[in-house]
Amino acid sequence: METIKVVKTAHYVPSKVVTNDDLSKIMDTSDEWISSRTGIKQRHISIEENTSQLCTNVAEQLLEKSGWDAESIDLLIIATMSPDSYTPATAALVQGNIGAHKALAFDISAACSGFIYGLNVAEKFMVSSGSSCKRVMLIGGEVLSKVIDWTDRTTAVLFGDGAAGVLLEQNEEDSSCFVSSSLHTYGEQGDKLEAGKTDALSSFPTAGDHKIKAFSMSGRDVYKFATHKVPVSIEEAVEKAGLTLDQIDYFVLHQANSRIVTQIAKRLDQSLAKFPMNIAKYGNTSAASVPLLLDELVSNKAIKRGQIIAMSGFGGGLTVGTQIIKY
């Protein structure tokens, strides 16, 4: 039986760091408000590097770490809610940048659940395509700073830019890293979190008429959604796997707000020590946040081969997703 393994992980964040104190100089906010409500202390903000560039940096690191030739990649997926453009897909740009000429490349739009949805799609592609899809590169990347209204303190303080990803490979070993998953979309709540919204105009627009709207979010509704739906999604995936919550070594959750993570740990009756966080350094990086945390945990050897990891994302859509892997 063909099985799949997470071969390498990598991340990249732009060099410019913006602290809460920096933000308090340009808007009516404070380090005390931001850190006590969210756990965020700073974020990395991109100056001139677009999403495809952050993702290309991650892609190059993944190739270097693995020693793989770019031409050996069969599928390249980018999860993003802040693509460079409507078309071409950011994945197509990255494919061209690294010379992965054989790879089929497309984007997934599922906001902060994007990386988890991407894992699911990658697994299904690999299983159904057999030997024609053996090597997959999956990256979550965002330049959210370009879609934020920097005069809106209720959203501007929450987000950061970054990219992170994994290489997946079919191998001959006897157990797949993919254990079970649970994904849900709640489209009727789509208006609770929007970015890049466009209007269908009554006239025939010409250059200059086209406008896209900045990020907007009903924070309280998303908070309620996350603290209710993420535990359900984790429990569903754990049950499907025939595991118990106690058998999960780490819960690698989307980093939107440390209070959300704490609340989810409480609802699942699991020790907060099993819920690592890095939101203080990066803020909410949407589709990049789960792989960014995964890469840090793998790099500092907190996560070891054979451990059971539950990864969950939630956000725009509204979407929620959990993927359990045996790392």
Of 25 and 220, the one with the shorter C-beta distance to ligand ACO is 220
| Catalytic hit among 11, 133, 254, 257 | 254
CB of 292 to ligand ACO, least distance (A): 14
228 in active site: no
CB of 31 to ligand ACO, least distance (A): 10
CB of 179 to ligand ACO, least distance (A): 25
Pairing of the two strands 308-315 and 319-326: antiparallel
Of 24 and 171, the one with the shorter C-beta distance to ligand ACO is 24
Of 95 and 289, the one with the shorter C-beta distance to ligand ACO is 289
Residues that bind ligand ACO (CB under 6 A): 29, 33-34, 37-38, 111-112, 153-154, 157, 193, 219-220, 222-223, 226, 256-257, 260, 284, 286, 315-316
Half-sphere exposure of 304 (CA within 13 A, CB side): 0
Task: Write out the chain in H/E/C secondary structure.
Answer: CCEEEEEEEEEECCCCEEEHHHHHCCCCCCHHHHHHHHCCCEEECCCCCCHHHHHHHHHHHHHHHHCCCHHHCCEEEEECCCCCCCCCCHHHHHHHHHCCCCCEEEEECCHHHHHHHHHHHHHHHHHHHHHHCCEEEEEEEECHHHCCCCCCHHHHCCECCEEEEEEEEEECCCCCCEEEEEEEECHHHHHHEECCCCCCCCCCCCCCCCCCCCCEECHHHHHHHHHHHHHHHHHHHHHHCCCCHHHCCEEEECCCCHHHHHHHHHHCCCCHHHCCCCHHHHCECHHHHHHHHHHHHHHCCCCCCCCEEEEEEEECCCEEEEEEEEC
171 in active site: no
CB of 231 to ligand ACO, least distance (A): 14
CB of 144 to ligand ACO, least distance (A): 7
Of 44 and 134, the one with the shorter C-beta distance to ligand ACO is 44
| Catalytic hit among 55, 112, 133, 177 | 112
Residue number of the CB closest to ligand ACO reads 315
Of 141 and 316, the one with the shorter C-beta distance to ligand ACO is 316
Of 316 and 321, the one with the shorter C-beta distance to ligand ACO is 316
Phi (first) and psi of residue 105, to 5 degrees? -135, 130
CB of 139 to ligand ACO, least distance (A): 17
| Catalytic hit among 50, 57, 257, 284 | 284
210 in active site: no
As annotated, the active-site residues are 112, 254, 284
